[in-house]
Chain A
C-alpha cells in the first residue's frame, strides 16, 4: 500500500490535488492511504516551499500547483 501525503496549508488547490489522487487510485484499483499535511513545520521538513506538494512513500514527487492525471498515474503505478 502506498502512503501519499499532500502538502499544503489547506488552499483550494491542495484539496483538489487530494481529490484527484483519490479518484485516480480508485480508477486504477490501487490501495492507498492519503494524508493531508497542513503543519508548516511538517511541510517544510520535506524541503517544499511551493504548495500543493505531493509525497509518495516519503519521496517528494511534485511541488507547486495541480499535478496532471498522467503523472498521478505514474506515481501510483
Chain B
C-alpha cells in the first residue's frame, strides 16, 4: 500500500524532473518527495483515527487515574499514559504542579514527563511504516524503560528539595472534569481538530527532518558514518546523544533522519539513542521547567536522561 509513495517519487523525480537515476541529486530529491508525502499522509490519517478513538484523554483525567495507586502500578501507568497523552509543552508547568498536588510522587510525575515527548502513537506508526516494526517496538520498549528508570532514580535520590518551594503550597481547585463528548459527530470534529492542531504544530520539524534526511541520504558518502559510527567506537553513542540536544525536534520529525542514517550503516542502538535525545532532551522544555525546578534538579534530570540514553545505545548495539 505504501508503494504508492515510492511510485509517486519515481514519477516526479525521473519522469517529471527528468533526473538521472543514481545521481546524488536524484537520490536526495527522491527521498524528500517520498518521505514528505508519506509522512504527511500518515500523520493526517493516523492522528484522525487516534483522535476519534481517544476523544478526551486529558492530563486532568490522567491525574485522576494515576493518583492514589501503589508504585508498581503508578509507574507503568504514568509512562504508558504519558505515551498516549498529548499536551503542549507550555502546559508542562501546570501539569507538573497539578500532579504533585494530587499526591502523585515526584518520581512518577517525572516518569510521565520523560515518556510523554518521547513516545506517541503517531511517531510509533510513522516509525513502523517507514523503518519497520522491529525498530518501532524497540524504541517504545526502551522509551518506557527509560521513563520508569528515570522516575525511580529521581525518587530514590529524594530530590523533592530541589523543587521550588511555592509549588508545594499551591492548592488546586476541584474544577469539574470536562465530559468526553460521546456523539459521533462531536468525536469526528475533535479528531479533525486534532489533525489541524498537531500537524499545525509539528510540520516545521517534519519538513526540516525530511530535508536533513534527504541531504544525508543523497550527499553523504556511503562509508562516512560506517567508518566513524561503528559499534566498536565507544564515543559514537554519547556523541549521538549530545548532537540530539540542539537538534530538538518532534519525535516524528527525527524519523526521516534516522531512516537515512540507517541506510548509511549506523547501528541500531546509536540510532535509538539519537532519536530519544532529539525528542526528550530539549533546551526550551528545560527553560520552561526551570519555573518549578531548581537548577540542580534540571541538571540532575538532564544527566539522568543523558546516561539512560547512552545506556540504551550501548545495550542495543551489544544485543543486535
Contacts and interface: CB of A to CB of B under 8 A. Distances in A.
B63 A49 contact: yes
Contacts of A44: 94, 97-98, 101, 170-173
B174 A64 contact: no
Contact of A9 (B93, B171, B172): B93
Interface in A27-54: 40-41, 43-51
Contacts of A11: 88, 90
B94 A41 contact: no
Interface in B98-117: 98-99, 101
Contacts of A14: 90
Contacts of B87: 50, 64
B173 A45 contact: yes
Contact of A47 (B90, B93, B173): B173
A16 to B, nearest CB: 11
Contacts of B189: 68, 70
A49 B90 contact: no
Contact of B90 (A13, A60, A62, A68): A13
Contacts of A63: 58, 60, 178
A64 B51 CA distance: 14
B88 A48 contact: no
Interface of B: 58-60, 63, 87-88, 90-91, 93-95, 97-99, 101, 170-178, 189, 193, 197, 291
24 contacts: A9-B93, A9-B94, A11-B90, A13-B88, A13-B90, A40-B93, A41-B171, A44-B170, A45-B172, A46-B175, A47-B172, A47-B173, A49-B60, A49-B63, A50-B58, A50-B88, A51-B88, A51-B90, A51-B91, A64-B87, A64-B88, A65-B88, A65-B197, A68-B193
Interface of A: 8-9, 11, 13-14, 40-41, 43-51, 59-60, 62-66, 68, 70
